[in-house]
């Protein structure tokens, strides 16, 4: 590590004035010193392989070259994973960092064509294949005899799964399913690795037996010849084209022209089709929600990484960059000294902490609920589902905003791809749409909240994450405002309850005026989405606060002070963002608001000296940050120039287009 040599003096000074032990915070974020050590060991091991090093930065390549580079890197990366698994006798889980996490994105910055093989194909086999099917397929998949992906979304249907059009019709005579795409919109569209990489695929299709439709079921389908990789007969497969980001993921389309597969290729752990075509229903259709929820929880964890990355880049840059001269006799200040800049960055730092703790909270809940599920208890499933929906929506939305704010906080240089901020935004904003479009998800949570609200009105007791709704029911006296962290969190719960109550009242009023329930719901849906957001804000604020209170019991006083300041900052920031809601649904006063504003400004000033220490504690290596603006040593301008010189356009002093177009044009001869 060359961390000690020639660090920018401004950054050096920032580190010297940091009031807490950076390593202590890193250990806390990792889950203990041994976890930090393990992570660092793995990072060194992987990065020593040099797979991440690019001769020409990939942003200069053509679309096709980008894909070819991605295949090369993905193969080398998964080869390495396989080697490490064998050496360490470890399972897949310990290498999650390669896939969606920081280390994987350091190697495959623009996405990997093989990721879905590991995160969707194999897990779906594990979750939905029978024991016999697993015995056959999982071994082949693990050994990479086959490479698979998972195809659900179609050109015409995304979030609304019931609307999928691909059909799988059972033919009892041949004991086969016939897969077919009856329309253009039935084409599968988006699955990663589908275009040119996978040769097998799990396809979600409408199951028909004996002339009856039984809804969406999973089928395993061979797409390409295992030897030649040529698409099989009746398989129309290709890539969907260039995207805002993730151009290494090889997203594909897939159409079927009456493609026949054996009956055994339907994944039958849950529902079955017998040889004669008899359909045997799954004991609970809710079981299939498992994978989807798992993925959503993983997304929340990924958002923490992206925010940490962006805010590390922007904060270090802000310590190096000097601009303007507010006082005539003093040098230009670091832009980190401007309160407006602190305002853009600090909330990013605290958001990374808040989401990490919220992710851990829901991760634990997920594991508990899964254990209950295995024991046949489905009671907390709707609550988990509702929470995972709004949490996915809010964390991806907030993360996109945080990353974009960080990029803009770096001014023009943030617009350079070499800053790595545009790339990071591309990855984060994709998450606002995939695995459930955010507005749709918020409305799913809202549906649960409305139902729960009505239960609470009926005097029923409520599950933990919505228990506050019976405490702060509508119509009760609004308690006096308490201008403390607990008071604000309680205020947010009042806001959520107030908004839900208002929605329920609006829907009822509209129904009374003659509207159908669905229309009344639709007319109220802008408010419903906002109520859902308010519920999620209350959850994040309170879980962040409570988990931090628990966590700081085991840390040094210096670190405790900073962690609590971060919680304060986050909570006060959101109070100020939602002053209108607080004014409507709590008894907060103008004096309270002005105090909050001053509290916020004081917190920024208090956190200012620790800004660089706080982002250092995320401990993201330069190879992971991959940014001219964010490297540990702060050689911002040198790196910008070094990266510029790598542009193939700079390899020649005069580009051929001068002779071909520009000169003839100037001479009037074009």
| 156 labeled binding residue | no
Using the structure block, give the residue that is written with the tokens 């897949």.
Answer: 92
Q: Which is nearer to a second copy, 241 or 480 (CB)?
A: 241
In 3D, which of 275, 279, 278 has the Cα closest to residue 262?
275
Q: Which is nearer to a second copy, 170 or 425 (CB)?
A: 425
Say if CB 594 and CB 615 are below 8 A apart. Answer: no
The DSSP output letter for 224 is B
Least distance from C-beta 85 to a second copy, angstroms?
A: 14
Least distance from C-beta 433 to a second copy, angstroms?
A: 5
> In angstroms, rounded to a whole number, what is the distance separating the alpha carbons of residues 48 and 103?
12
Using CB under 8 A, which residues numbered 265 to 324 contact a second copy? 322-324
The answer to whether 437 contacts a second copy (rule: CB under 8 A) is yes
Task: Return the range that interacts with a second copy (CB under 8 A); candidates 274-282, 289-297, 521-529, 606-614.
Answer: 521-529
Chosen residue from 35, 84, 417, 564 binding a second copy by CB under 8 A: 417
The answer to whether 53 contacts a second copy (rule: CB under 8 A) is no
The answer to whether 502 contacts a second copy (rule: CB under 8 A) is yes
Least distance from C-beta 355 to a second copy, angstroms?
A: 20
> In angstroms, rounded to a whole number, what is the distance separating the alpha carbons of residues 642 and 663?
30
Q: Tell me whether strands 272-273 and 235-239 are parallel, antiparallel or unpaired.
A: unpaired
- Dihedral sign, Cα of residue 651, residue 654, residue 659, residue 665: positive
- What tokens were used for 519? 């229309």
Query: Which residues, at least 6 apart from 179, have a Cβ–Cβ distance to it below 8 Å?
Result: 166, 167, 168, 203, 205, 219, 221, 256, 258, 259, 260, 261
Chosen residue from 135, 144, 467, 478 binding a second copy by CB under 8 A: 144
- Tell me the per-residue interface mask from 535 to 574 with a second copy, x by CB under 8 A, - otherwise: ----------------------------------------
Using CB under 8 A, which residues numbered 145 to 164 contact a second copy? 145, 147, 153, 155-160, 162-163
Total binding residues for a second copy by CB under 8 A? 134
Chosen residue from 185, 291, 551, 587 binding a second copy by CB under 8 A: 185
Q: Which is nearer to a second copy, 371 or 666 (CB)?
A: 666
The answer to whether 210 contacts a second copy (rule: CB under 8 A) is no
Least distance from C-beta 576 to a second copy, angstroms?
A: 9
Q: How many angstroms separate the first and last alpha carbons of the chain?
A: 55
The DSSP output letter for 477 is P
Report the phi/psi class of residue 193: left, alpha or beta, with left for phi > 0 and alpha for psi in -120 to 50: left
At residue 141, what are phi and psi to the nearest 5 degrees? -70, -45
At residue 209, what are phi and psi to the nearest 5 degrees? -135, 145
Query: Which residues, at least 6 apart from 596, have a Cβ–Cβ distance to it below 8 Å?
Result: 483, 572, 575, 576
The answer to whether 513 contacts a second copy (rule: CB under 8 A) is no
The answer to whether 439 contacts a second copy (rule: CB under 8 A) is yes
- What tokens were used for 11? 């950054």
SS3 202: strand
What's the angle, vertex CA 251, arms to CA 250 and CA 254, rounded to 5?
A: 120
Chosen residue from 99, 432, 501, 571 binding a second copy by CB under 8 A: 432
Catalytic amino acids? 435
The answer to whether 438 contacts a second copy (rule: CB under 8 A) is yes
Least distance from C-beta 130 to a second copy, angstroms?
A: 25
Chosen residue from 71, 259, 387, 531 binding a second copy by CB under 8 A: 71
Say if CB 149 and CB 121 are below 8 A apart. Answer: yes
The answer to whether 217 contacts a second copy (rule: CB under 8 A) is no
Query: Which residues, at least 6 apart from 173, have a Cβ–Cβ distance to it below 8 Å?
Result: none
Chosen residue from 76, 126, 172, 287 binding a second copy by CB under 8 A: 76
Using CB under 8 A, which residues numbered 335 to 394 contact a second copy? 337-340, 343
Find the length of the chain. Answer: 670
Q: Which is nearer to a second copy, 414 or 613 (CB)?
A: 414
| 249 labeled binding residue | no
SS (H, E, C) 551-615: HHHHCCHHHHHHHHHHHHHHHHHHHHHCHHHHHHHCCCCHHHHHHHHHHHHHHHHHHHHHHHHHH
The answer to whether 78 contacts a second copy (rule: CB under 8 A) is yes
> In angstroms, rounded to a whole number, what is the distance separating the alpha carbons of residues 256 and 167?
9
Q: Which is nearer to a second copy, 149 or 418 (CB)?
A: 418
Chosen residue from 414, 613, 630, 634 binding a second copy by CB under 8 A: 414
Least distance from C-beta 603 to a second copy, angstroms?
A: 12
The DSSP output letter for 250 is -
Task: Return the range that interacts with a second copy (CB under 8 A); candidates 87-95, 121-129, 140-148, 278-286.
Answer: 140-148
Using CB under 8 A, which residues numbered 598 to 627 contact a second copy? 600-601, 605
Least distance from C-beta 581 to a second copy, angstroms?
A: 8
Chosen residue from 23, 50, 516, 595 binding a second copy by CB under 8 A: 516
Least distance from C-beta 415 to a second copy, angstroms?
A: 5
The answer to whether 415 contacts a second copy (rule: CB under 8 A) is yes
Chosen residue from 110, 239, 533, 619 binding a second copy by CB under 8 A: 239
Rg (CA), the chain: 27
Chosen residue from 13, 23, 284, 665 binding a second copy by CB under 8 A: 665
The answer to whether 172 contacts a second copy (rule: CB under 8 A) is no
At residue 179, what are phi and psi to the nearest 5 degrees? -90, 135
The answer to whether 85 contacts a second copy (rule: CB under 8 A) is no
Annotated binding site for FAD: 153, 192
């Amino acid at each position: 590590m060359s961390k000690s040599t020639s660090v920018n003096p401004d950054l050096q000074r920032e580190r010297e004035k940091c009031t807490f032990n950076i390593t202590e915070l890193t250990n806390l974020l990792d889950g203990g010193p041994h976890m930090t050590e393990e992570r660092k060991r793995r990072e060194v091991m992987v990065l020593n392989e040099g797979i991440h090093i690019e001769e020409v930065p990939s942003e200069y390549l053509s679309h096709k070259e980008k894909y070819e580079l991605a295949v090369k890197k993905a193969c080398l990366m998964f080869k390495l994973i396989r080697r490490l698994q064998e050496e360490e006798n470890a399972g897949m889980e310990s290498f999650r960092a390669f896939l969606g996490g920081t280390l994987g994105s350091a190697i495959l910055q623009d996405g990997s064509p093989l990721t879905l093989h590991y995160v969707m194909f194999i897990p779906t086999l594990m979750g939905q294949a029978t024991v016999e099917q697993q015995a056959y397929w999982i071994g082949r998949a693990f050994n990479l005899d086959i490479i698979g992906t998972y195809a659900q979304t179609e050109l015409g249907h995304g979030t609304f799964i019931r609307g999928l059009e691909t059909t799988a019709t059972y033919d009892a005579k041949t004991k086969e399913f016939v897969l077919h795409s009856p329309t253009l919109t039935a084409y599968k569209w988006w699955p990663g690795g589908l275009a040119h990489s996978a040769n097998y695929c799990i396809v979600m299709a409408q199951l028909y037996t004996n002339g009856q439709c039984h809804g969406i079921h999973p089928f395993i389908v061979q797409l390409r010849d295992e030897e030649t990789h040529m698409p099989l007969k009746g398989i129309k497969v290709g890539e969907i084209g260039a995207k805002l980001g993730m151009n290494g993921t090889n997203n594909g389309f897939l159409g079927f022209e009456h493609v026949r597969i054996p009956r055994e290729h339907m994944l039958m752990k849950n529902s079955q089709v017998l040889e004669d075509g008899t359909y045997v229903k799954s004991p609970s259709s809710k079981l299939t929600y498992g994978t989807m929820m798992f993925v959503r929880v993983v997304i929340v964890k990924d958002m923490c990484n992206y925010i940490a990355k962006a805010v590390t880049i922007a904060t270090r840059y802000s310590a190096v960059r000097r601009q303007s001269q507010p006082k005539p006799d003093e040098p230009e200040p670091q832009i980190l000294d401007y309160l407006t800049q602190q305002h853009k960055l600090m909330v990013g730092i605290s958001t990374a902490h808040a989401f990490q703790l919220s992710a851990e909270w829901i991760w634990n809940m997920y594991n508990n609920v899964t254990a209950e599920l295995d024991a046949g208890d489905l009671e907390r499933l709707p609550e988990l589902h509702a929470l995972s929906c709004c949490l996915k929506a809010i964390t991806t939305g907030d993360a996109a905003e945080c990353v974009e704010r960080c990029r803009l906080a770096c001014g023009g240089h943030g617009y350079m791809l070499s800053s790595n901020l545009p790339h990071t935004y591309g990855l984060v904003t994709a998450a606002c749409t995939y695995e459930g479009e955010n507005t749709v998800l918020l409305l799913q949570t809202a549906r649960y909240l409305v139902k729960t609200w009505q239960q609470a009105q009926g005097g029923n007791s409520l599950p933990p994450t919505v228990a506050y709704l019976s405490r702060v029911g509508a119509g009760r006296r609004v308690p006096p405002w308490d201008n403390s962290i607990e008071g604000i969190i309680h205020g947010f719960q009042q806001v959520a309850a107030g908004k839900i109550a208002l929605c329920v009242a609006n829907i009822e009023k509209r129904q009374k005026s003659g509207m159908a329930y669905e229309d009344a719901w639709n007319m109220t849906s802008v408010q419903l989405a906002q109520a859902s957001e308010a519920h999620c804000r209350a959850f994040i604020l309170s879980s962040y606060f409570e988990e931090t209170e628990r966590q700081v019991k085991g840390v040094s006083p210096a670190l405790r002070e900073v962690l609590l300041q971060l919680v304060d900052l986050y909570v006060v920031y959101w109070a100020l963002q939602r002053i209108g809601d607080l004014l409507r649904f709590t008894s907060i006063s103008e004096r309270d608001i002005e105090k909050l504003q001053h509290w916020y400004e004081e917190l920024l000033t208090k956190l200012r000296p620790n800004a660089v220490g706080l982002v250092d504690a995320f401990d993201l290596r330069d190879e992971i940050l991959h940014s001219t603006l964010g490297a540990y040593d702060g050689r911002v301008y040198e790196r910008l120039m070094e990266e510029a010189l790598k542009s193939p356009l700079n390899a020649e002093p005069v580009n051929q287009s001068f002779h071909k177009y520009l000169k003839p044009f100037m001479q009037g001869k074009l």
